[in-house]
């Protein structure tokens, strides 16, 4: 009986490992920065060239840093910002990210959102900002991706 239980547990573990490595591989090849890369943000569920139907989810990934709400000053943390159809120059990145429809803040520490955009091509980019909404120099923003909304 004991052997049976152990065998069942091992089979269960093996099944978990298989599905875990499949997920990890997928994420590695499609969007997740290389394990040796420095801190970075990335969009987990959408990729350059994807076609979506609005409204659609955008899931935020973060590597090498933590999330803290806006206003909370903790080392090596920040909150997500989603840039839609816009970008910030190097100079603009020295200041707080504007807050409008094209610069969305997730100051409660949210790690995903739902976006509604008109049909056509749109660019999306994630950027981690500090407690004062200033882009963190240590955390690479995601590469802007272009998605097509049907």
Q: How far is the CB of 47 from Cu ion (least distance, A)?
A: 25
Residues 104-143 that bind Cu ion (CB under 5 A): 105, 129, 133
Q: Residues in contact with Cu ion, total (CB under 5 A)?
A: 3
Q: Which is nearer to Cu ion, 64 or 69 (CB)?
A: 69
The per-residue DSSP string of 14-77 comes to HHHHHHHHHHHHHHHHHTPPPTTS-SEEEESS--TT-EE-SSEEEEEEEESSEE--TT---TTE
> If binding is defined by CB under 5 A, does position 103 make contact with Cu ion?
no
Residues 40-79 that bind Cu ion (CB under 5 A): none
Q: How far is the CB of 45 from Cu ion (least distance, A)?
A: 21
CA distances from 68 to 80, 109, 111, 131 (A): 9, 6, 11, 8
Site residues for Cu ion per CB under 5 A: 105, 129, 133
């Amino acid at each position: 009986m004991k052997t049976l239980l152990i065998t069942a547990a091992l089979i269960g573990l093996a099944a978990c490992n298989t599905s875990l490595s499949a997920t990890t591989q997928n994420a590695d090849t499609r969007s997740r920065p290389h394990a040796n890369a420095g801190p970075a943000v990335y969009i987990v569920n959408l990729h350059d060239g994807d076609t979506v139907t609005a409204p659609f989810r955008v899931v935020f990934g973060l590597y090498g840093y933590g999330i803290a709400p806006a206003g909370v000053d903790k080392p090596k943390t920040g909150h997500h910002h989603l840039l839609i159809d816009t970008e910030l120059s190097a100079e603009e990145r020295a200041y707080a990210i504007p807050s409008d429809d094209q610069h969305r803040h997730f100051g409660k520490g949210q790690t995903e959102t739902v976006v509604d955009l008109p049909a056509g091509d749109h660019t999306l980019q994630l950027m981690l900002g500090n407690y004062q909404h200033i882009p963190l120099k240590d955390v690479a923003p995601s590469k802007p991706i272009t998605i097509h909304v049907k």
